[in-house]
Each structure stands twice: as C-alpha cells, then as structure tokens.
Amino acid sequence: MGTVAGYVLKKRLSGNKRYPLVLMLEPLFRCSLACAGCGKVQYPPHILKRQLTPEECFAAVEECGAPMVSLPGGEPLLHPRIVEIVNGLVARKKYVYLCTNALELKQRLPEFTPSKYLTFSVHLDGQREHHDFSVCREGTYDIAVEGIKEAVRRGFRVTTNATFFDGADPGSVRGFFDEVMDMGVEGIVLSPGYSYDKAPDQNRFMGRARVRRLFSAILSNRKPNWKFNMSPLFLEFLMGKRNYECTPWGSPAYNIFGWQRPCYLLQEGYAESYKELLETTNWNEYGVASGNPKCANCMVSCGYEPSAVIEGFGSLKGFLAMVRGTFSSYRDENAVKLLDDSVPQANLVQIEKPERVLEETNA
Amino acid sequence: MTAEVQKYTFEQVEALELAPGSEHEDLEGWVPTLATDAELRDALEKALDYRGDVTLTLKSGEKIEAFIFDCKNGATLAESSARYYTPAAPENRKVCFAEIARIEFTGKDRAAGKHWEDWVKKYNERKAAGETNIGLAPEALE
C-alpha cells in the first residue's frame, strides 16, 4: 500500500495527469478453460500459439513504469517461460499478480519462490457448483482449492478473484467469502463481468443498476473475517455509494499485438508504444460520461479501481474515506432484504439458501 | 467509433438493468464489394473486429492469409495501413490500404457459437444421463 501511495503522490506532485497503476500484461491468450463469459481467448490457432518473450514483458513493464503488474491471459501457467517472467518482474520489485485458473497451480508451485512481490490470484467465481458452472467444467473448484491450500502452506501470498454475471446469488456469494477466508487467502478480489462483444454468452451481463443492487446485497453487513484485496472506495462504487468516471489508462494492457487501445476490455487497435497509446488515443470517447455504448454497463475494476485508488491516495478526504471503508461493516438492513428477496435464476445451479440475519455480521 | 458515442445519456446508463449484448455479425465466408474507398475502409474495420483470418489479395496479385489486429486510418488509402499476423511468419507485418484489391473472410470465426444456453442444455442432458466431469474444452490448436 505504501508503494502505491508514494507512487500516486509522486505522480500528482509532478503534475502527471495520466499514469498507470497496474500493467495488464497478457503473455499469451491460450487457456485451458472455455468459459462462456470470457471474450479473451477466441483467436485462430496461430494467434493462440504466440506468446510474449520474457524480454518483451520486461520492456513493456519498464516502458510504462506501473508499480503493479497483473498477469492475466489466457492462462499464464501455460506459458513455458512464466517462471522466468515472474522472477524478472519480482527482481524489478514489481508487485506481481499471477492470475490463474489454478488447474496446474499445485504441480507448478515448486518452481516459484515465495516473495512479498508475488501473489497468486486464483480465479474462483463462487461456491463449488457455481464456479464449475461458470467456467463450464465440473471439478475445477476442487482442483483450484487444492492449489490455493498448497500455495498458502508453502508461504505464498494468495488471493481469489471472482467475476459475477446476471443471476449470481448474493447469499451464495457471501457463503463463498466464508469458504475462501477459511482457506487462508489474504483477500478477495471481485468484479462484475464486462460485456465482451466476443464472449459466447451475450445475455448475462448486468447493467449498472443491477450491479449496484447485487453488490450492495453482497458487500453490506460484512463479517469481520472478510478481507478484500481491493480499494474500499471501489467496493463502495460497486455498492452504489459513490460514483467515478473511468480511468482507462490506469490499467493499460500489453500483449502480443502491442498496447491495447483504449483499455484492457475494448479492442480498437493497438499502439506500438505506451507513449503512442497515451498520446494518440482519444480518451474523451470512452467512459460513462462519453455515452459510448461500449462503456455503458462497465463497472469493471481495471477502469474504475484506478479512479478509486487515485482518490484514496490523492487527497486527505479520500484517504480518510478509505480508512473508514477499511474498518466499516456497512451495516444496512435494506441489504438484508435484498438478500432475502434474491431469487437465483432457474437455469443456474441452485445451492440451498442459509437463513440470513443481520446478527450474523459484526455490525 | 466516433459515430457511436453519445448514444446513451448518463441517466440511461445508470438505470440499465441488463447490458444489451452484441449482435454477432455472421461474416465467415463474406467477400465484400470494394468498389469505393469507403467500402474498403468499412470491410477492413470489420476485418479488424473479426476473430478469424482473412485472405487479402493485393493489386500485385499476391495473396496473404492475415489476422488483422490494428488499422491506422489516414486521410487517403495511401496514408492508411493495417497490421496483421500471418500463420507462417513470427513477426507482424503491415499492408497499405491502397495495395488491397480483395478481402475474403476465409478463416473460421472463433467468436461464433458456444452460447450459454447451449452449455446449460448440454450440461443438463449429460447430467441426466449420469455423466460426471462434464465440461467444455478449448478448441485444439490444430
């Protein structure tokens, strides 16, 4: 946190208006899953076989200068030189989040070295049945959990990351938070799904109003053991307690095509350098205020968490709000009603609902 | 892109319950007419968005199998270019719009099909038949 705070303050003091916080470094697009909500992996085989070299990864990291590097994909553990890439990033003192479906995590752990700079961010979209259904393959939850437990046992930093779509059962999500905290993870990362126009399923992306109701139900009346590895202000944004404009340059994306324009989610061509991306993208055409329909439902962390982080570390008011958010349980009786009223969609796997009462929280 | 902005007001965006999904355009096998500069630019914009290879025939007669990932639109076709990967070469390449005589959407559209409803139906059928370890697998890399 101190590194990011210092970085934001330094950028603000230098008058820099557009700077990156997290580099989304996609070393390859190949994946071992075929999730219906993912629009990242639909490419011809000759594209899926390509991958960034470690040298290309390091050059991108040094070019943009972000203090944090997320390694999504594709599945990064399928990259034959991923250990070299991770070690090189750690040597550069970058905070690395290796995003993995964890199908191979347990077997690959001996190749990695625990470090404060390295976190395995394991894709888990909910409780066992929900996750398996979401990633379109049975058995993946159990394999991922085995990987998580082994990583924790070996002293690695581990978080889970979840994407939620329309039909998510907020009660089950809260049960899922209990489960993952019991596994010993450091925190939970979560985001609503983005309506990728290349995703096979185009009918389950939530609009903003529904996102806010869902996350209000999920994130209000928090239990004391829940930890989120995210800005508290971003979580308030998801709950509808504050509004932000998108900061697309906050999480620039680099992959085999170059610097993705304008952001990690939209794909309107590629710049050949980070400088070119910043200087030649018409940023006014993106974000909710632009009215761009491609941005209309987006509340995804790669665009809005940088806005929250910049507010949190950029002013005393923002910092105090962040501190308050860190220690608040967000007691809200209306959210309990939202939980009770939620009806999971019939086409999704049903998990028996536990009785929900406000007293179960630390409120 | 510019023509699409300002489609929604802020209030409309905030009130959205479900995000309108994209209509998938069936482009596989399409051979656009390229009688005008505008038609060529439009076809290349679609090729940029297409998740499959296209075959470019240049005015020189050369044919190129290409996955187009970036287009730079200049004032004239001579000032405009597309970058692409071709299956046989490790590096990406560039072609000037003015050199292109024909575009064919020859490659398989990798973003087509595999709807959620299909997965749910298949899952339920296989579950009812007593199968275990049901799942979708990524396509083979051929």
pLDDT digits over B61-81, tens only? Answer: 999 999 999 999 999 999 999
HSE-up (13 A, CA, CB side) for residue A23? 25
pTM value is: 0.90
pLDDT digits over A72-112, tens only? Answer: 979 999 999 999 999 999 999 999 999 999 999 999 999 99
- CB nearest B70 (choices: A46, A202, A269): A269
pLDDT of residue A292: 86
Burial B36-54 (b: 16+ CB within 10 A, else e): eeeebbebbbbbbbbbbbb
Q: Which residues of B touch A50 (CB under 8 A)?
A: 85
Number of domains in chain B: 1
CA distances from B91 to A47, A61, A269, B8, B54 (A): 11, 21, 17, 40, 17
- CB nearest A269 (choices: B71, B119, B132): B71
Tokens found for residue A151: 């990583």
pLDDT digits over B39-58, tens only? Answer: 999 999 999 999 999 999 99
Domain annotation for chain A: domains and CATH numbers: 2-360 (3.20.20.70)
Tell whether the torsion through CA atoms of A245, A251, A254 and A259 is positive or negative. Answer: positive
Domain membership flag for residue B19: no
Tokens found for residue B29: 């096998």
Q: Which residues of B touch A133 (CB under 8 A)?
A: 123
Q: Tell me whether A283 touches chain B (CB under 8 Å).
A: no
pLDDT, mean of residues A162-187:
93
Please state, for a pLDDT cut of 70, what percent of chain A lies above it.
91
Contact B67, B53 (CB under 8 A): yes
Stretch (H or E) spanning B51: none
Q: Do B7 and A293 touch (CB under 8 A)?
A: yes
pLDDT of residue A352: 41
Q: Residue B24: pLDDT band by 50, 70, 90 thresholds?
A: confident
Residue with tokens 């990064």: A76
Min distance A2 CA to chain B CA atoms (Å): 34
| CATH number where B107 lies | 2.30.30
- CB nearest A208 (choices: B4, B14, B116): B14
Tokens found for residue A63: 């070019």
pLDDT of residue B7: 66
Domain membership flag for residue B50: yes
Q: Do A195 and B2 touch (CB under 8 A)?
A: no
Q: For all residues of chain B together, what is the average pLDDT?
A: 88
Here the ipTM equals 0.88
Q: Do B67 and A47 touch (CB under 8 A)?
A: yes
pLDDT of residue A329: 95
Interface size between A and B, measured as CB pairs under 8 A = 162
CA distances from B121 to A347, A350, B138 (A): 9, 16, 18
Q: Residue A203: pLDDT band by 50, 70, 90 thresholds?
A: low
pLDDT of residue B140: 83
Domain membership flag for residue B129: yes
Per DSSP, what are the bridge partners of residue A70? A24, A97
Q: How far, in Å, CA of A265 to CA of A51, rounded?
A: 19
- CB nearest A285 (choices: B1, B48, B135): B1
Domain membership flag for residue B69: yes
Between A341 and A203, residue with greater pLDDT: A341
Please state, for a pLDDT cut of 70, what percent of chain B lies above it.
90
In which domain, by residue range, is B35 found?
26-133
Q: How far, in Å, CA of B122 to CA of B104, rounded?
A: 33
Domain membership flag for residue B10: no
Between B117 and A311, residue with greater pLDDT: A311
Residues in chain B: 142
Q: How far, in Å, CA of A46 to CA of A267, rounded?
A: 19
Domain membership flag for residue B68: yes
pLDDT, mean of residues A8-30:
93
Q: Which residues of B touch A260 (CB under 8 A)?
A: none
Which range has the worst mean pLDDT, A256-260, A290-294, B51-55, B75-79? Answer: A290-294
Nearest to A307 by CA among A256, A237, A216, A222: A237
DSSP A305-335: HHHHHHHHHH-HHHHHHHHHHHH-----HHH
Domain membership flag for residue B13: no
